[in-house]
Amino acid sequence: MPTLPITARITLPPSAQRGEVVTVRVLVRHPMERAVDAPGLTPLPRKILHTLRVTYAGEEVFRMALSPGIAANPYLEFTTVATETGDLVFTWEEDGGTLYQREARLVVT
């Protein structure tokens, strides 16, 4: 399935040593429309990024289900162990099936 680019900020340390625990910070631009229907509001269908999957050197290292209670432009942080220099691939799935993807390179020394 084709993926689309998305505005995101992925923060990794500039480099890491093999075996080091690295912190990965992810901010993504998305309205996370949670389908609130209340007086004075225009009802919109729910449209959130419901899943984030992260692979590192081809292997899945992080997966998260995001709920409608999460604010717009969701921020999250996780850790992984640096094994080899490789790409972290972030794939978000939106309601409706659209996939968004971004990559970030982790340099291991």
105: contact with other proteins by CB under 8 A:
no
Q: Which of 75, 79, 81, 105 binds other proteins (CB under 8 A)?
A: 75
State the minimum distance, in angstroms, from the CB of residue 58 to other proteins.
25
Instruction: Say how far apart CA 47 and CA 70 lie, in whole Å.
Output: 12
Instruction: Say how far apart CA 83 and CA 76 lie, in whole Å.
Output: 22
Q: Which of 29, 46, 63, 105 binds other proteins (CB under 8 A)?
A: 29
* Minimum CB distance to other proteins smaller for 73 or for 85: 73
Minimal CA–CA distance to 9: which of 36, 29, 27?
27
State the minimum distance, in angstroms, from the CB of residue 68 to other proteins.
13
* Minimum CB distance to other proteins smaller for 7 or for 17: 7
Burial class of residue 76 in the structure, from the number of CB atoms within 10 Å of its CB (0-12 exposed, 13-18 middle, 19+ buried): middle
Structural tokens at position 8? 């995101």
User: Site residues (CB under 8 A) for other proteins?
Assistant: 7-9, 11, 25, 27, 29, 31, 71-73, 75
